[in-house]
Chains A and B, each alone.
Chain A
Amino acid sequence: MINWPNFISQVFNGLALGALLALISSGLTIIYGTLGVLNLAHGAMFMLGGYAGYVAFQYTGSFIVAVIAGSLFVMIVGVVMERVIIRHFYHRPHEDQLLVTFGLGICFVELVRLVFSSDSKLVPPPPLFQGITSLGFMFYPTYRLAVVGIVAAALGALFVVLYRTRLGMIVRAGIEDSVMVDSLGINVYRVFMIVFGIGAMAAGFAGIVNAPVVSLTPGVGDDILVETFVVVVIGGVGSFPGAILGGLIAGEIISITSMFNPGYAYVMLFAAMVLVLVVRPHGLLGTQGRE
C-alpha cells in the first residue's frame, strides 16, 4: 500500500527539484536558443554558484548576501567566458563548441576541487526557513517549501525579462531567427554576452539556493547537467515554457520513482525522454527549427 503522507512529501520534493531543474534548464535553453551554443559547463556554473555563495556566507553569515554574491559571481564568470572563449566558437562546428565548453566545465570543477578539496561543504538554510512546517496532515522541511517559492520568484523574474523587456524581445526573436535579428542592425554580440551572463546566473542562483538542501561537492553539477539535458529534450530545446514543464515533469518522475526504488529513478526519467522523442521528436513545447 502507498503511504500517503510519504507520497505527498515526495510530490513536494519533486516540486522543489522540478522547480530547480526548470530554472537551470531555462538558463541552458535561452543560451542555446539565442547563441546556438550548448553550454556543457552549465553544470559547473551551478556548482560555482554554490561555492561562491558558500564563501560569501563564511565571511558574512548572511544567506541573502550568499545568494546575491553567488549569482553575481557566476554571471561575471559567464560574461568573461563568453567574451574570452565562446565568442570565437560561434562560427565553428557544434562539436567544437561542445568540446570547449566540456573542457571549461572540467577546469572549473577541478579548480574548485583544488581550492576547497573534495570534502562536502554545508550552507545552512536562513534562520527564517529553518525547521519543519506542519501541513496539517504531515510535517515537511520548511526550507524545501521555501525553495519552491524562491525559485518560482526567480522564474517569474526571468519571465519578465524575457517577455516584458526590449532585451527579452530581442532574445526571443533571436531564438526564432538569429540571422534576421542580426540583419536588423541589432548588436547581437552584446546581446549574446548578456544572455550568456543571465543564463549562467540562473544556474548559479539555483546552485546557491540548492546548497542547504544537498551538501556541496565539486561534482554536484555533473548529475544536474545530465538531468538538465533530459529536461530540455523533453520540453523542447530553446523553449522557456518547455524548460519549466520539462523541469516539473522530470522532478516528479525522479522523486516519485525514488519512493519505490531510487535505482530506477533515472531509468524512468530516461523512459519518459524516449517516449517524448518517439511521439514528439522536437519536445513537448519545442518547434521544428534549429538543429
Chain B
Amino acid sequence: MACSARRAANERGHLMLKQRPFLIETLTAIGLVIAPFVLPHLGFAPNTVNRILVWGLFGLGFDILFGFTGLLSFGQSAFYGTGGFVAAYLLTRAGFPNVVLALIIGMIAAAAVGYLVGLIALRRTGIYFSMITVAIAEVFFFVEFNPLSAWTGGENGLPGVPTPSFDLGFVNIHFTTGWSLYQFLALCYFIGVVIALRIVRSPVGAVLSAIRDNPLRATAVGHNIHAYKLTAFVIAAAYAGFAGGLLGVLQAFMPPDAFTFDTSGQLVMQTAIGGRGTLFGPLVGAAIWLFLQDFLQAALGLGAAWKLVLGVIFVLLVCFLRRGIIGGLEDLYGRLTGKSAKHAEPEESSPVPVADAAEVMAALVADTPKPSSVRDGRTGPILQATGLTKRYGGLVANSDIDFTVNYGELRGIIGPNGAGKSTFFKMLTCEVHPTSGTILFEGRDITGTSVTDVCQHGLTKSYQVNQLFTGLTVRENVVIAALAKLRGKFRLDLFRSVDSIPGLTELVKRTLELVNLSSRPDTPVSELAYGEKRRLEIGLALATSPSLLLLDEPLAGMSPRERVETVKLLKSISRDRTMIIIDHDMDALFELAERVTVLQEGRVLVEGTPDEIKNSTAVQEAYLGGVHGVLDA
C-alpha cells in the first residue's frame, strides 16, 4: 500500500512538473526569502543556517549522482576539499581579488578532478564503485596533508578567506557574516537548485534515472551509459567543489577536515535522512543533522553522544523509511488524500475489443512513416551471419550457423529447449560476442561491436524476460528508448527540456498506440498487468525505430486472450520492418512467419516455409524424439 501511495505521489510530482514548470523554483525562492524571519524563532543561529545551505548545495550534486543515477559514492570529500582549497588558495596565498571567480575556478578544478577520478571509479559498478571512491578520497586526504602541505597549509588549513563583495558602481555590497552572508549563500543555493532542476528534467536526467532502474536495458536501447554516468559524476564533483569553496568563505578559513572520510559519510547520511532522489533531501537532512547536533549537545547536555543518537536515527530511517523524511511525507500526503486507491486498481487489460484494436492498429500503421529500408524498397539480405559459433568452455552453444534474412521478411525461429536460440539472438545483438564467425547488418560488419552501437544502427531486441525501467511510468519508459533514437548514444543537452526534442512526442505517442498502451501513459510499470508489461517490452524495442527487430519469445507466459492480441500486434508492426521471432508457440509462429528456421543442439536443422517445416520429418524427430507422429498444425 505504501508502495502505491509512493507511486501516486511520484505521479503527482511529475504532473506538477509539467503543469506548473516554475512552481518548485518559486517555492524555493519564497522559502529562502522568509527563512531569516522564521528560523531564528525555531532556535536556528544564522551560522547554522548558513552551514545547512552549504551542505544542501553540496548535496544537490550528490543527489543527482546517488538519488537519480543510483551511484553511491563515499568519496565526495575529495571534490569538496579540492574545490575548497583551490578557491581558498587563490584568495589567500595568490592574492586573487574576486571571491566569486575564485569559487568558480575551484568548482572547475573539482569537476576536472572528478572527471579523472570518474574514469577510474566507473570502471566498476555497485559496491566496487563505492569501495573505490572511498579509497580515492582517502588518498586525497593524505595528499593534502603531506605532499601538498606547502600549498594547503597541511593540518593548519588556510586561514583568512575573505567574504564576497560586489562593487556595482553606485553602491558597494559586502556580504560579511551571519544573515548578511546568508543572502549570498541563499542566492548560490537558489542558482544551484535551478540548475539541478533543469538537469533532472533534461533528456540527460531522464537517461540517468533509466540507468538507476535498469542499466542493462538503458545500454540495449542505445545509450552510452558510461558517458552518462561520468557526466553525473562530474556534475556531483562540480557542486561539491563550489560548496567546498563556500565552506572556506563561510568560516573565513579552509579547514583540512573537509577532506576527511567523515565529510563524505555525513553527506551520505544527510541525504538518506532527508530523502534521496528529491534534490531537497540533503538540505532537509543537513537541517535535521545540525539542529540535532546543537540541540542534543547544548540543550540536553549529551556531549559526544549526539552522534550516536544521529547514528541510531539514521539506521532506523534506512530500515523503515527508505525514501527519508521527504519521501515519508510524500507517502503520508498520498495516503491522506487517498488518491493512491485509484491508481492501485489495475484496469482489466485493455478495454478496446480485440477486433477494433486491430483495425486501429492497421490505420495507425498506415500513417507510420516507414523505416528507410522498407520505404526505399530495398531488397536482398539485411542480416547475414556466417559460421557463427559460440563456445562456453567445453560447451558449444552455437555451432557454425549460417543465417540470412532479407529486407521486409518476417522470420520465425523454433527449436527445442537448449537449442541455442537465445544465445544466437544475443550474438546477433552483440550482447555476447561469437567465438568465431561474422555478422553483417545492412552490409556493415558488426561482429564484436557493442550492443549500444548495434541498436543505434537499427538492430534491437525485445527480451525474453521483461527488462523495463521499473521505477518509471509507461510513457517515461518509451521516452527513454525514443531519446536514444532521436539524440544518438550520447549528448550533453543538460539544460534542454525533454518535451522540446523535435519528434519525441510523436514517436512516443505512435509507439504507445502501436502497443496499445496509450490509455495508461502515466501508470507506473510496477502496476501493469503481465500482458501489458510484455507489450511495453516490445514497445521499448519499437521506440528505437529499428529496421531489424528481434523478439525473444514475445508470447511466453501469456493468457490465450493476450496471445491473440499480441499476435495481431506483431502482424501489424511487421508491415514496416524486418523481424525475427523466437517462440515456442508454433501455431502463432506458423501463422506469422513467412519462413522458419529450426535450431537444434546449436545448429541449423532445417529452414523453409511453415508448410515445409510442418511436414519435415527431421523436425518431427527433433521434437518428438523419433516417434512418427504428425506435428499438430
Chain A residues near B (Cβ < 8 Å): 32, 38, 85, 88, 92-96, 98-100, 102-104, 106-107, 110-111, 113-114, 118, 222-223, 225-226, 229-230, 232-233, 237, 261-267, 269-270, 273-274, 277-278, 281, 291
Contact assessment for A110 and B311 in the assembled complex, using a CB-CB cutoff below 8 Å: yes
Bound CA–CA A272/B315 (angstroms) = 34
The interface centre, meaning the residue of A38, A103, A225, A266 with most chain B CB atoms within 10 A of its CB, is A103
Instruction: Kindly list chain B residues whose C-beta atoms are within 8 Å of the C-beta of A269.
Output: 135, 139
14 contacts between A and B (CB under 8 A): A38-B131, A94-B126, A98-B74, A106-B307, A222-B261, A226-B261, A229-B132, A233-B131, A237-B127, A263-B145, A265-B142, A267-B147, A270-B135, A273-B132
Given A226-B261, A267-B139, decide whether A95 and B66 contact each other with a Cβ distance below 8 A. yes
Taking the closest CB of chain A, its distance from the CB of B67, in whole angstroms, is 10
Given A103-B311, A106-B265, A110-B305, decide whether A263 and B124 contact each other with a Cβ distance below 8 A. no
Given A107-B311, A267-B139, decide whether A96 and B322 contact each other with a Cβ distance below 8 A. yes
Contact assessment for B304 and A113 in the assembled complex, using a CB-CB cutoff below 8 Å: yes
Contact assessment for A103 and B308 in the assembled complex, using a CB-CB cutoff below 8 Å: no
B208 located at the interface, meaning its Cβ lies under 8 Å from any Cβ of chain A in the complex:
no
Given A88-B319, A103-B315, A110-B308, decide whether A270 and B136 contact each other with a Cβ distance below 8 A. yes
Chain B residues near A (Cβ < 8 Å): 66, 70, 72, 74, 120, 123-128, 130-132, 134-136, 138-139, 141-143, 145-147, 261, 265, 268-269, 272, 304-305, 307-308, 311-312, 314-315, 318-319, 322
Contact assessment for B261 and A281 in the assembled complex, using a CB-CB cutoff below 8 Å: no
Contact assessment for A99 and B308 in the assembled complex, using a CB-CB cutoff below 8 Å: no
Contact assessment for A99 and B120 in the assembled complex, using a CB-CB cutoff below 8 Å: no
Bound CA–CA A270/B134 (angstroms) = 11
Bound CA–CA A215/B128 (angstroms) = 31
Bound CA–CA A232/B131 (angstroms) = 9
Contact assessment for B315 and A107 in the assembled complex, using a CB-CB cutoff below 8 Å: yes
**Sample of 7 more A-B contacts, CB < 8 Å, known A103-B269, A113-B304, A233-B132:** A93-B70, A94-B126, A94-B127, A96-B322, A104-B311, A225-B134, A270-B138
The 6 nearest A-B residue pairs measured at CB = A263-B146, A110-B308, A229-B131, A103-B315, A106-B311, A107-B311
User: Could you say which of A93, A98, A267 contacts B143, with CB atoms under 8 Å apart?
Assistant: A267
Contact assessment for B132 and A38 in the assembled complex, using a CB-CB cutoff below 8 Å: no
User: Could you say which of A99, A233, A263, A278 contacts B128, with CB atoms under 8 Å apart?
Assistant: A233
Contact assessment for B147 and A263 in the assembled complex, using a CB-CB cutoff below 8 Å: yes
Taking the closest CB of chain B, its distance from the CB of A204, in whole angstroms, is 20
Given A94-B127, A229-B131, decide whether A103 and B139 contact each other with a Cβ distance below 8 A. no
Bound CA–CA A273/B117 (angstroms) = 13
Taking the closest CB of chain B, its distance from the CB of A38, in whole angstroms, is 4
Instruction: Kindly list chain B residues whose C-beta atoms are within 8 Å of the C-beta of A95.
Output: 66, 70, 72
Q: Give the secondary structure class of B's interface.
A: helix
Bound CA–CA A32/B261 (angstroms) = 22
Contact assessment for B142 and A281 in the assembled complex, using a CB-CB cutoff below 8 Å: no
Instruction: Kindly list chain A residues whose C-beta atoms are within 8 Å of the C-beta of B70.
Output: 93, 95
Instruction: Kindly list chain B residues whose C-beta atoms are within 8 Å of the C-beta of A88.
Output: 319
User: Could you say which of B136, B308, B318 contacts A114, with CB atoms under 8 Å apart?
Assistant: B308
User: Could you say which of B72, B142, B265 contacts A266, with CB atoms under 8 Å apart?
Assistant: B142
Bound CA–CA A95/B212 (angstroms) = 11
User: Could you say which of A106, A114, A278 contacts B305, with CB atoms under 8 Å apart?
Assistant: A114
Contact assessment for B66 and A266 in the assembled complex, using a CB-CB cutoff below 8 Å: no
Instruction: Kindly list chain A residues whose C-beta atoms are within 8 Å of the C-beta of B134.
Output: 225-226, 229
Taking the closest CB of chain A, its distance from the CB of B156, in whole angstroms, is 16
Contact assessment for A273 and B307 in the assembled complex, using a CB-CB cutoff below 8 Å: no
Contact assessment for A114 and B72 in the assembled complex, using a CB-CB cutoff below 8 Å: no
Taking the closest CB of chain B, its distance from the CB of A234, in whole angstroms, is 10
Contact assessment for A103 and B318 in the assembled complex, using a CB-CB cutoff below 8 Å: yes
Given A94-B127, A95-B70, A230-B135, decide whether A263 and B314 contact each other with a Cβ distance below 8 A. no
Instruction: Kindly list chain A residues whose C-beta atoms are within 8 Å of the C-beta of B304.
Output: 110, 113-114, 118
Taking the closest CB of chain A, its distance from the CB of B274, in whole angstroms, is 13
Contact assessment for A107 and B142 in the assembled complex, using a CB-CB cutoff below 8 Å: no
Specify the chain B residue showing the minimal Cβ separation from A237: B128
Instruction: Kindly list chain A residues whose C-beta atoms are within 8 Å of the C-beta of B66.
Output: 95
Instruction: Kindly list chain B residues whose C-beta atoms are within 8 Å of the C-beta of A229.
Output: 131-132, 134-135
Instruction: Kindly list chain B residues whose C-beta atoms are within 8 Å of the C-beta of A38.
Output: 127, 130-131
Contact assessment for A277 and B269 in the assembled complex, using a CB-CB cutoff below 8 Å: no
Taking the closest CB of chain A, its distance from the CB of B351, in whole angstroms, is 35
Contact assessment for A98 and B128 in the assembled complex, using a CB-CB cutoff below 8 Å: no
Specify the chain B residue showing the minimal Cβ separation from A268: B139
User: Could you say which of B124, B131, B269 contacts A281, with CB atoms under 8 Å apart?
Assistant: B124
User: Could you say which of A111, A265, A277 contacts B308, with CB atoms under 8 Å apart?
Assistant: A111
Specify the chain B residue showing the minimal Cβ separation from A230: B135
Contact assessment for B128 and A291 in the assembled complex, using a CB-CB cutoff below 8 Å: yes
Contact assessment for A233 and B135 in the assembled complex, using a CB-CB cutoff below 8 Å: yes
Bound CA–CA A223/B135 (angstroms) = 10
Instruction: Kindly list chain B residues whose C-beta atoms are within 8 Å of the C-beta of A278.
Output: 123
Instruction: Kindly list chain B residues whose C-beta atoms are within 8 Å of the C-beta of A98.
Output: 72, 74, 127, 130
Bound CA–CA A64/B315 (angstroms) = 35
Taking the closest CB of chain A, its distance from the CB of B521, in whole angstroms, is 27
Taking the closest CB of chain B, its distance from the CB of A262, in whole angstroms, is 8
Instruction: Kindly list chain A residues whose C-beta atoms are within 8 Å of the C-beta of B319.
Output: 85, 88, 100
Contact assessment for A277 and B311 in the assembled complex, using a CB-CB cutoff below 8 Å: no
Specify the chain B residue showing the minimal Cβ separation from A222: B261
Contact assessment for B126 and A266 in the assembled complex, using a CB-CB cutoff below 8 Å: no
Taking the closest CB of chain A, its distance from the CB of B245, in whole angstroms, is 25
Specify the chain B residue showing the minimal Cβ separation from A117: B304
Instruction: Kindly list chain B residues whose C-beta atoms are within 8 Å of the C-beta of A233.
Output: 128, 131-132, 135
Instruction: Kindly list chain B residues whose C-beta atoms are within 8 Å of the C-beta of A263.
Output: 142-143, 145-147
The interface centre, meaning the residue of B72, B127, B307, B315 with most chain A CB atoms within 10 A of its CB, is B127
Bound CA–CA A95/B73 (angstroms) = 10
Instruction: Kindly list chain A residues whose C-beta atoms are within 8 Å of the C-beta of B72.
Output: 94-95, 98-99
Bound CA–CA A281/B261 (angstroms) = 25
Contact assessment for A107 and B127 in the assembled complex, using a CB-CB cutoff below 8 Å: no
Taking the closest CB of chain B, its distance from the CB of A239, in whole angstroms, is 13
Bound CA–CA A118/B125 (angstroms) = 36
Bound CA–CA A262/B314 (angstroms) = 35
User: Could you say which of A96, A100, A111, A264 contacts B147, with CB atoms under 8 Å apart?
Assistant: A264
Bound CA–CA A262/B146 (angstroms) = 9
Contact assessment for A291 and B125 in the assembled complex, using a CB-CB cutoff below 8 Å: yes
Bound CA–CA A113/B305 (angstroms) = 8
Taking the closest CB of chain B, its distance from the CB of A229, in whole angstroms, is 4
Contact assessment for A32 and B132 in the assembled complex, using a CB-CB cutoff below 8 Å: no
Taking the closest CB of chain A, its distance from the CB of B399, in whole angstroms, is 24
The interface centre, meaning the residue of B128, B141, B268, B272 with most chain A CB atoms within 10 A of its CB, is B128
Taking the closest CB of chain B, its distance from the CB of A95, in whole angstroms, is 5
Instruction: Kindly list chain A residues whose C-beta atoms are within 8 Å of the C-beta of B268.
Output: 99, 102
Contact assessment for B261 and A291 in the assembled complex, using a CB-CB cutoff below 8 Å: no
Contact assessment for B307 and A226 in the assembled complex, using a CB-CB cutoff below 8 Å: no
Specify the chain A residue showing the minimal Cβ separation from B120: A274
Taking the closest CB of chain A, its distance from the CB of B148, in whole angstroms, is 9
Specify the chain A residue showing the minimal Cβ separation from B131: A229
Taking the closest CB of chain A, its distance from the CB of B289, in whole angstroms, is 12
Specify the chain B residue showing the minimal Cβ separation from A93: B70
Contact assessment for A266 and B305 in the assembled complex, using a CB-CB cutoff below 8 Å: no
Taking the closest CB of chain A, its distance from the CB of B261, in whole angstroms, is 7
